[in-house]
Amino acid sequence: MLTKRVIPCLDVRDGRVTKGVKFKHNVDLGDPVEMAVAYSEGGADELVFYDITASAERRPIDIGMVEAVARAVRIPFAVGGGISTLADMERVILAGAEKISVNSLAVKNPEIIREGAAAFGRQCVVLGMDPVRNAKCPCGYEITTRGFREMTGLDAVEWAKRAADLGAGEIVVNSVDADGTRAGFELEITRKIADAVNVPVVASGGAGLPAHLVAAFNEGHADAAIVAGMVHSGDFTIAEIKKELVAANVPTRMSW
């Protein structure tokens, strides 16, 4: 049985890690490279970095930061934000990232998923999505873009299925409603998407306790879970989270 992955997320803004609630009220947390090393050495299975204002500001991603992280850690990491072309994807891969996350770009130009999968392999292409509750959508959730700044009218499950068909190798489901609240993942939409696609699904947004990750894996049918505030704050370490996963009989990598 494949082990479940615990993935710290570092939202980067102006070269610093930041954290907010529902994409607002961000506070400075530290240097992304230093934090990446600490999480890599502390048992994280992967890392993910989002240049959180790149898309909204319509500028390229910080390639220097990607290169610095690649030199410093020995675990896989994904990068997203400010990626608008296949050439941008190539720069991120050449800078040392194992995966590229596309979100707003993919909604605007879905073919970038197919192009990226053909060029680099589908295992390198991650679809990030920011769904928000909307009863008018068939699955009950609508896709938003540009950091929850724009509503798209897209049904979250239908978009996930289309992206997987186009070649996305993984889907990150980041609930806008739960983001930064530490009240638990949005299990309903995570489970709906996990059951609808044949690629790994990552739960994101709302982790506050190790029990929330247990629920994401068992009830949300997720293959991995992203953590941010609960570890950035020092309330929990990756090792502590993993010990509780093992206690709950969740298959977990415990050697690093």
140 CB-side CA count, 13 A: 10
Phi, psi of 188 (to 5 degrees): -60, -50
CB 4 within 8 A of CB 225: yes
Instruction: Go through 87-125 and write b for each residue having 16 or more CB atoms within 10 A of its CB, e for each that does not.
Output: ebbebbbebbbbbbbbbbbbbeebebbbbbbeebebebb
pLDDT at residue 233 tops 60: yes
11 as an active site residue: the answer is: yes
CB 168 within 8 A of CB 149: no
> Rounded mean pLDDT of the chain?
92
pTM recorded for the entire structure: 0.93
What is the pLDDT confidence band of residue 21, given thresholds at 50, 70 and 90? low
Cα 76 from Cα 96, distance rounded (Å): 9
Token look-up 């990446």 returns 36
Compute how many other C-beta atoms are within 10 angstroms of the C-beta atom of residue 233: 12
Instruction: Decide which of 13 and 56 is more confident.
Output: 13
Question: Mind listing the pLDDT tens digit for each residue in 25-71?
Answer: 567 788 999 999 999 999 999 999 988 766 667 777 788 889 999 99
- The reported pLDDT for the residue numbered 61 is 78
The SS3 call for residue 159 is: helix
Q: What is the mean pLDDT of residues 97-110?
A: 94
Give the CA distances from residue 52 to residues 123, 211, 215, 216, in Å, rounded to whole numbers and listed in that order: 23, 27, 27, 24
pLDDT at residue 22 tops 70: no
pLDDT at residue 135 tops 80: yes
Catalytic one among 62, 130, 155, 223? 130
The DSSP code sequence of 25-73 is EEEEEE-HHHHHHHHHHTT-S-EEEEETTHHHHT----HHHHHHHHHH-
Catalytic one among 11, 45, 155, 223? 11
Structural domains of the chain in order of their starting residue, each with its CATH number: 5-247 (3.20.20.70)
pLDDT at residue 158 tops 80: yes
Q: What is the mean pLDDT of residues 155-174?
A: 98
Question: Mind listing the pLDDT tens digit for each residue in 168-223?
Answer: 999 999 998 888 889 999 999 999 999 999 999 999 999 999 999 999 999 999 99
- The reported pLDDT for the residue numbered 8 is 97
Q: What is the DSSP letter of 123?
A: G
Instruction: Decide which of 89 and 26 is more confident.
Output: 89
Closest C-alpha to 3, from 206, 254, 193: 254
- The reported pLDDT for the residue numbered 24 is 55
68-72, 79-83, 111-115: least confident range:
79-83
The fraction of the chain above a pLDDT of 90, given in percent, is: 78
Cα 172 from Cα 160, distance rounded (Å): 10
Cα 96 from Cα 78, distance rounded (Å): 10
- The reported pLDDT for the residue numbered 25 is 58
